[in-house]
Amino acid sequence: MDLRNIAIIAHVDHGKTTLVDELLKQSGAFRANQAVAERAMDSNDLERERGITIFAKPTSVEWKNTRINIVDTPGHADFGGEVERILSMVDGVVLLVDAAEGPMPQTKFVTSKALALGLRPIVVVNKVDKPDGEPDRALDEVFDLFSSLDADEDQLDFPHMYASGRSGWADHELDGPRKDLSALFDLIVNHVPAPKQLAHEGEDFRMLATTLGADAFVGRTLTGRVESGKIKVGASVQAISRIGQKIENFRVTKIQAFRGLQMQDIEEATAGDIVTLAGMSKATVADTICALAVDEPLDAQPIDPPTITVTFGINDSPLAGRDGKKVQSRVIRDRLYKEAESNVAIKIEDTPGGEAFEVSGRGELQMGVLIENMRREGFELSISRPQVIMKEEDGQLMEPVEEATIDVDDEYSGAVIEKLTGTRKGELVEMRQNGGKTRIVAHVPSRGLIGYHGEFLTDTRGTGVLNRVFHGWTAHKGPIPGRRAGVLISMENGEAVAYALWNLEDRGKMMIGAQAPVYQGMIIGEHSRENDLEVNPLKGKKLTNVRASGTDEAVRLTTPMTLSLEEAIAYINDDELVEVTPNAVRLRKRYLDPHERKRMAKSNG
């Protein structure tokens, strides 16, 4: 049977996972009566809730005696570490572009990685049935993007199709018959080369590990593409690191390959196959698994460096231990190091004292997903404000810059440009108007984008779309002002009283409702002025003997402003923390005692 390995790459929400669903259905991977969830590839709970792909996942379909291994990849820059490794495992990519939005920052990011590896993309203009779709414009923009990324002549001569993933059709012509996806299957088989590894079948076994997993029954597992030779269950192999150091020898206890959405045990894997091996105890991502006679590791893709760092600490608030079962620093440390093993874009460092850990990663979304997963597992944590990682070059302090691409209605473009180029020290690169919408491209320091998303949605009445991707390094641009408003801090422990909150409403916006548990040093609202204010949310109404009509009317509270986990992390200042438990997200001051807060503020100048 012939073999093809492809990845599906695109910007967030351009329809990768939906298209893979249809490819699986139309190739006969499901039985006619089989119950299949929508977006079958997004198997993780968080992926389903947020409607995004976080983990790259392989699947496999058969078409006219050819097995096509398909990898569905994440679209967010925060999970770019996954995409970079996956691309080294395939021989072709299907690039999906939304007919209305055209190429977006993430399209540029993943395409640049694919072109650099010499892959020749197939371009699919998706969602052509959208009322605001302009397929021909989107196709022209893809060509411009390829030429700006220094594509060679073969890559610029890319085949293209028009499609609607949701309706399950793809055609070479815009006004074609629109029946099914068979034209796309045929194009994949004819355009994507067979794995060049097939020529190395007679050589020693070598495989580069690209993703790490864990199985309850067989333990640690590694997935990758067999680069040369064959491997059988029970064979003795070794693992070598990227720099050629020997890590361990082990026996392969299990070999699995994807058939449809199911993993199946196979007895033997040959060159070109994408398979999962079990039996190792130490080998990890980017290591080479190979025969005992081999001493040279395979080239592994370098991983982009982390750009932000967040401190994960134990929860030491008065409410600690009420919700979660996992509260000790030892348990938190084990969980974080386990995460760093499988996610190469994350780095963990212990802090002096051992009560907190510095976690570095690609962005706020990646950190938010990790924290959300941990709280669902029963952890309680205190999280600091994200700090941008700086570096020094030739005696000059450098900071990371991101390319922000923003689509807004024309009327809001002025406010957005003013914020980005004024207080947030960004530089405007491009601005184009089209049909009532403005696209703004700006290079903004990563520091300036922390906490900006919530403000951006307010400025654009929730209609703007903001995308960002790491662009490079620049000289440090000086201080960037943080949150302007102060906060309301509780001075008592207990349960908030409706009457007290009602009286505090003219001081600012509340973040809690009546009967919410509060403690000294906890942030319960946003002050209407720039300074912090200590208030008493437990103060009840004094009773009198007078019983006149109108004095005892029920108190009506304004709905409190609730912050999501990512919003809370971006909202806090350096002297504040987010307390995260399985059932609550609370904001608090780092030092709960007011005297200690003043002392620390003095010593920090």
Could you name the CATH architecture of 198-290?
Beta Barrel (2.40)
Q: What percent of the chain has pLDDT over 70?
A: 87
Are the CB atoms for 527 and 534 separated by under 8 Å? Answer: no
Give the per-residue pLDDT at 197: 66
Identify the residue with better confidence: 16 or 282. 282
Q: Please give the residue that has the higher pLDDT: either 385 or 484.
A: 385
Give the confidence band of 433 by pLDDT, cuts at 50, 70, 90.
Answer: confident
Q: What are phi and psi of 337, to 5 degrees?
A: -70, -30
Distances (CA, A) of 470 to 339, 340, 487: 22, 21, 32
Q: What is the pLDDT of residues 209-259, one digit of tens each?
A: 887 777 778 888 888 888 888 889 999 999 998 888 899 999 999 998 877
Q: Domain map of the chain by residue range? A: 2-194, 198-290, 305-390+564-605, 401-475, 483-562
pLDDT at 393 over 60: yes
Q: What does the pLDDT look like over 318-374, one tens digit per residue?
A: 988 888 888 888 899 988 988 877 676 788 998 887 788 999 887 777 788 888 888
**How does DSSP assign 284-341, residue by residue?**
-TTPEEE-TT--SPPP-PPPPPP-EEEEEE---STTTTSS-SB-SHHHHHHHHHHHHH
- pLDDT for the residue 436: 78
Q: Which of 411, 447, 453 is nearest to 426 (CA)?
A: 447
Measured distance CA(29)–CA(260) in Å, rounded? 5
The confidence score (pLDDT) of residue 382 equals 92
For the ranges 52-56, 370-374, 421-425, 597-601, the lowest mean pLDDT is seen at: 52-56
Angle between helices 364-376 and 329-342 in degrees, nearest 10: 130
pLDDT digits (tens, 9 = 90+) for 184-199: 889 988 988 888 766 6
Given a contact cutoff of 8 angstroms between Cβ atoms, the answer to whether 184 and 161 are in contact is: yes
With residue 595 as reference, give the H or E element that holds it: helix 594-603
- Asked if 312 and 336 count as a contact pair (C-beta separation under 8 A), the reply is yes
Per-residue pLDDT of 44-89, as tens digits, reads 454 444 444 444 456 778 888 888 888 767 655 555 556 667 787 7
**pLDDT tens digits for 32-41?**
444 444 444 4
Q: Residue 437 pLDDT more than 60?
A: yes
Give, in order, the Cα–Cα distances in Å from 424 to each of 293, 428, 478, 589: 56, 12, 10, 25
Q: Which long-range contacts (CB under 8 A, 24 or more apart) does 320-324 make?
A: 320/380, 321/380, 322/581, 323/380, 323/581, 323/582, 323/583, 323/584, 324/375, 324/378, 324/379, 324/380, 324/581, 324/582
Q: Give me the pLDDT at residue 579, please.
A: 92
Going by pLDDT thresholds of 50, 70 and 90, the confidence category of residue 260 is low
- For the domain made up of 2-194, the CATH class stated in words is alpha beta
Write the DSSP assignment of 79-145 as a string of letters.
GHHHHHHHHTT-SEEEEEEETTT-S-HHHHHHHHHHHHTT--PEEEEE-TTSTT--HHHHHHHHHHH
Tell me, what's the pLDDT at 546?
63
Nearest residue to 209 via CA among 195, 198, 220, 197: 220
Mean pLDDT for 92-118 is 82
Protein fold of 483-562: OB fold (Dihydrolipoamide Acetyltransferase, E2P) (2.40.50)
Closest to 58 (Cα-Cα) out of 42, 70, 49: 70
Equal fold, 305-390+564-605 vs 401-475: yes
Rounded average pLDDT over 483-503: 87
The CATH superfamily holding the domain 305-390+564-605 is Elongation Factor G (Translational Gtpase), domain 3 (3.30.70.870)
Residue 550 has pLDDT above 60, yes or no: no
Tell which CATH classification among 3.40.640.10, 3.30.70.240, 1.10.10.10, 3.90.930.12 matches the domain 401-475.
Answer: 3.30.70.240
Average pLDDT score, the chain? 81
CA angle 366, 117, 406 (to 5 degrees): 45
Amino acid 35: pLDDT? 42
